[in-house]
Structure 1
Amino acid sequence: MKRNLLTLFLATALLFSCSSDKDDLNQDNNILGSWELTALEIDESTASDDEEFAQDILSFLSAINCSIMTITFNADLSVITENSGNYLEINVNPGGSGLDVPCPTEKDTSVDSYLYEGGVLTYIDEDQVETTVNVEISGTTMRINATELDFANFNDGGVLIFTKR
Structure 2
Amino acid sequence: MELDVRLARSEDAAELAELLNQVIARGGTTALEEPFTPEALDKAYLTGTDVICCFVAVDRLSGRLEGFQTLGRYPGLPEDIGDIGTFARVDGAQRGVGSALFAATRDEARKQGLAAINATIRADNTGGLAFYRRMGFTDHAVRAAVPLKSGALVDRISKRYLLNVSD
Q: TM-score, normalised by structure 2?
A: 0.27
Judging by fraction of residues, say which structure has more helix: 2
Q: Which has the higher contact order (CA 8 A, sep 6+)?
A: 1
Larger Rg: 1
